[in-house]
């Protein structure tokens, strides 16, 4: 393919080397708009030389069935980032409605996130599986992608479990919610 043909396929805005214009909205407005999308809550766990590491994560998603791939994002400032990179293997624990406190516990920095938490190492990769989780997905990091103030991790899935039968823990517009049951 010639360079003339290639450049015709790339929109002018993407081919430009100049940075995009400033957003016509603030960070708070962006967060509020993104909060209109309800999501489940997970705790992503791994191991470090000092012991288990974990953090609450809403940005988890399935990417591909064949091959099985998932992704999540993590803030560049997260204390858990070093352990995720170093161990390379992790477990995504999907939280149930009864695990609201656990979500909050793993969302805080500077505390013992593992105090009173029941868990066992995954037989797949040794990363912690949290007791009572609706299910979990174990895998190994395939790729790390730069994305603004976060990093996106693409993970190859090596094991799964459906765990406990319960309603999911949901987050919407800055608060936890439960599924509404129809009569």
The domain of 140 spans: 27-170
Is 181 contained in some domain?
no
pLDDT at 2: 44
DSSP state of 37: S
Number of structural domains the chain divides into: 1
Strand order in the sheet with 42-48: 51-57, 42-48, 89-94, 135-147, 150-161, 69-75, 61-64
Asked if residue 2 belongs to a domain, the reply is no
What string of pLDDT tens digits covers the 183 residues of the chain? 444 444 445 555 555 556 667 778 777 787 767 665 677 999 999 999 999 999 999 999 999 999 999 999 999 999 899 999 999 999 999 999 999 999 999 999 888 999 999 999 999 999 999 999 999 999 999 999 999 889 999 999 999 999 778 899 998 888 888 887 766
Tokens 């500077």: give the residue: 110
In a domain, 6, yes or no: no
φ/ψ (deg, to 5) at 5 = -70, -45
* Residues paired with 140 in a beta bridge: 89, 156
- At 93 the pLDDT is 97
CATH value at residue 62: 2.30.110.10
- In a domain, residue 15? The reply is no
Q: How many residues does the chain have?
A: 183
Would you say residue 86 lies in a domain? Answer: yes
For the whole model, what pTM was predicted?
A: 0.81
Examine residue 43 and state whether it is found in any structural domain, yes or no. yes
């Amino acid at each position: 393919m010639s360079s003339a043909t290639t450049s015709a396929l790339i929109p002018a805005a993407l081919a430009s080397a100049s940075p995009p214009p400033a957003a016509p909205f603030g960070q708070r407005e962006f967060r509020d708009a993104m909060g209109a999308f309800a999501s489940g809550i997970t705790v992503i766990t791994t191991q470090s030389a000092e012991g288990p590491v974990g953090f609450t994560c809403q940005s988890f998603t399935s990417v591909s069935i064949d091959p099985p791939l998932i992704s999540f994002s993590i803030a560049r400032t997260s204390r858990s980032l070093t352990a995720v990179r170093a161990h390379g293997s992790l477990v995504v624990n999907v939280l149930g409605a009864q695990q609201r406190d656990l979500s909050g516990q793993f969302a805080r920095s500077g505390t013992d996130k593992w105090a009173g938490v029941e868990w066992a190492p995954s037989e797949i990769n040794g990363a912690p599986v949290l007791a009572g989780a609706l299910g979990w997905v174990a895998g190994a990091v395939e790729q790390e992608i730069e994305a603004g103030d976060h990093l996106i991790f693409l993970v190859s899935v090596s094991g799964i479990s459906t765990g406990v039968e319960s309603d999911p823990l949901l987050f919407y517009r800055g608060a936890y919610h439960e599924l509404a049951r129809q009569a």
